[in-house]
């Protein structure tokens, strides 16, 4: 069964609190639920998924998918171990330790280690309270507990946390030495923070910047990308300057330059958003780039043609009213340029983030700055070149 149209649902939950939005989505099919969550911004999807009634499987699926492609290891979130005792400690001794440790609220499990600090087992508070005072921790512990290694990747850690649902996870070295602890909630907080940072990274906002970042620090993070944007804008202006004589002789072209730039830019941003989502969710791992490019070329041609028809009609009417020569040819110029610009911007929307990743850069970092430059140069250059060749 195909999922129901999601546009009405997206509009309905747009202004709702996460709990209310989850209640509205709770009665939908699993396919519709996944489609709606995939269409939402990552942080918003996570907050709604956390409140979904009776939909644990869908929540896990959505959270696991969002975690794919998030960089980092559990070592980044590790805190110093607490509640560490040797195996010969008695239950009475462990309880006495808990009474005197500060703060006791930070201890969820007792971690049993040998002389070399290798993790032997864990003791839950329930087992400790039910144990006999003279029993040793070695007798009541759960041996060989699950643990992360310091280099466990974040997607793998999130998958494990969704499966086991522990509050706290030990982190060990390759030979089993207890290095630290990781809270389960910090894994999901990290995923939400990283994905939300991608939105700002697209336009050159540093991942480390927050609302509370001081003004000077925020200036240092943002300003270099604005200088890059200025240089790329000069490149687009240079291309337009090459056709200064054409614009002077066919003034109506100047009116349609921003129209063409806006449409091709939006097309490119759509392709960019889908490509970044594919990189984040790991969807491009098994899909050849040629297939993605073919799809964007077809979409660009279709969108460019139908948008170009409207723009061409507007150009023909405007050129005829303003007394410009050959209005029909100018209309054809707009149509061809719109199709070419939209096709090219779709290709750029895929290739810009993939190229950044290939050179070891963050594929989201300032992608829209480069994309805007490429689409402006292609769209405006193509229109002015066609007008020069066909009209003059």
Beta bridge partners of 168: 183
**Helices H / strands E in the chain, number of each:** 16, 7
Q: How many CB atoms neighbour CB 373 within 10 A?
A: 21
What secondary structure does DSSP assign to 277-315, as a single string? HHHHHTTTSSS-HHHHHHHHHHHHHHHHHHHHHHHHHHH
The whole-angstrom separation of Cα 234 and Cα 370 is 12
Query: How many residues would you count in the chain?
Result: 392
pLDDT at residue 200 in the model? 47
Transcribe 179-220 into DSSP letters. Answer: EEEEEHHHHHHHHHHHHHHHHHHTTT--TT--TTS-HHHHHH
Query: According to the model, what pLDDT value does residue 361 have?
Result: 66
Number of Cβ within 10 Å of residue 263's Cβ equals: 22
Is the separation of the CB atoms in 281 and 63 below 8 Å?
A: no
CA 107, CA 101: separation in Å to the nearest integer?
A: 9
Which residues of the chain are in CATH 3.10.580.10 domains? Answer: 74-185
Give CA–CA dist 257/357, Å, rounded: 32
Q: Assign a CATH topology to domain 74-185.
A: CBS-domain (3.10.580)
What is the distance between the alpha carbons of residues 296 and 76, in angstroms, rounded to a whole number?
37
pLDDT of residue 307: 92
Cross-strand pairs, 183: 168
Cα distances (angstroms) measured from residue 225 to each of 193, 346, 351: 21, 23, 20
Residue 222's contacts (CB-CB under 8 Å, 6 or more residues apart) are: 204, 205, 206, 209
Nearest Cα residue to 118 out of 182, 170, 183, 184: 170
b/e burial code for range 303-328 (CB count within 10 A of at least 16 → b)? bbbebbeebbeebbebbeeeebeebe
389 φ, ψ (degrees, to nearest 5): -75, -40
Strands 148-149 and 168-172: parallel
In terms of Cβ atoms closer than 10 Å to its own Cβ (0-12, 13-18, 19+), residue 175 is exposed
Interacting residues of 201 by C-beta distance below 8 A, sequence separation 6+:
207, 362, 364, 365, 366
CATH 1.10.357.20 spans which residues of the chain?
215-390
Residues 6 or more apart whose CB falls under 8 angstroms from that of 3 comprise 29, 31, 32, 34, 35
For residues 116, 120, 123, 127, the Cα torsion angle rounded to the nearest 10 degrees is -130
Neighbours of 232 (CB within 10 A): 19
Q: Would you write out the chain's pLDDT as a tens digit for each of its 392 residues?
A: 344 456 677 777 776 777 677 767 766 666 677 677 767 775 567 667 656 544 444 444 544 455 455 567 788 888 888 889 999 999 999 888 888 776 655 677 889 999 999 999 999 888 888 888 889 999 999 898 888 888 888 777 777 776 677 778 899 998 899 998 888 777 766 665 555 545 444 444 445 555 667 788 777 777 776 787 788 778 878 888 888 888 878 888 888 888 888 888 888 888 888 887 777 666 777 778 889 899 999 999 999 999 999 999 999 998 888 888 888 999 999 999 999 999 999 999 899 888 877 877 666 656 777 788 888 888 888 888 888 888 76
- State the architecture of 215-390 in CATH terms: Orthogonal Bundle (1.10)
């Amino acid at each position: 069964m195909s999922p129901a149209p999601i546009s009405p649902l997206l509009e309905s939950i747009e202004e709702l609190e996460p709990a209310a939005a989850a209640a509205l989505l709770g009665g939908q099919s699993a396919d519709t639920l996944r489609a709606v969550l995939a269409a939402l911004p990552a942080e918003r999807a996570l907050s709604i998924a956390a409140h979904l009634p009776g939909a644990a499987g869908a929540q896990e699926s959505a959270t696991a998918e969002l975690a794919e492609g998030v960089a980092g290891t559990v070592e980044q979130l590790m805190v110093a171990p607490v509640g560490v005792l040797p195996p010969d400690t008695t239950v009475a001794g462990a309880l006495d330790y808990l009474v005197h440790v500060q703060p006791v609220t930070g201890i969820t499990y007792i971690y049993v280690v040998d002389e070399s600090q290798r993790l032997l087992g864990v003791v839950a508070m329930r087992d400790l309270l039910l144990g006999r005072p003279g029993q040793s921790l070695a007798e009541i512990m759960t041996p060989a507990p699950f643990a992360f290694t310091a280099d466990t990747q974040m997607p793998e850690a999130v998958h494990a946390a969704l499966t086991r649902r522990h509050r706290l996870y030990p982190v060990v070295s390759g030979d089993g030495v207890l290095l630290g602890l990781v809270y389960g909630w910090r894994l999901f907080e990290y995923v939400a923070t990283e994905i939300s940072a991608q939105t700002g990274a697209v336009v050159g906002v540093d991942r480390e910047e927050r609302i509370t970042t001081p003004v000077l620090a925020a200036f240092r993070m943002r300003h270099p990308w604005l200088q890059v944007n200025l240089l790329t804008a000069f490149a687009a202006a240079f291309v337009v300057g090459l056709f200064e004589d054409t614009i002077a002789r066919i003034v109506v072209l100047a009116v349609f330059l921003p129209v063409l730039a806006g449409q091709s830019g939006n097309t490119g941003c759509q392709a960019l958003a889908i490509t970044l989502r594919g990189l984040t969710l790991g969807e491009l791992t098994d899909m050849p780039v040629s297939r993605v490019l073919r799809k964007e070329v077809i979409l660009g041609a279709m969108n460019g043609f139908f948008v170009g028809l409207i723009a061409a009609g507007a150009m023909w009417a405007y050129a005829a009213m303003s007394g410009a020569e050959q209005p029909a040819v100018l209309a054809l110029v707009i149509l061809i340029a719109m199709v070419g610009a939209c096709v090219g911007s779709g290709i750029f929307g895929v290739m810009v983030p993939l190229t950044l990743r290939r050179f070891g850069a963050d594929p989201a970092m300032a992608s829209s700055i480069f994309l805007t430059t490429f689409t402006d140069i292609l769209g405006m250059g193509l229109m002015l070149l066609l007008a020069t060749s066909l009209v003059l």
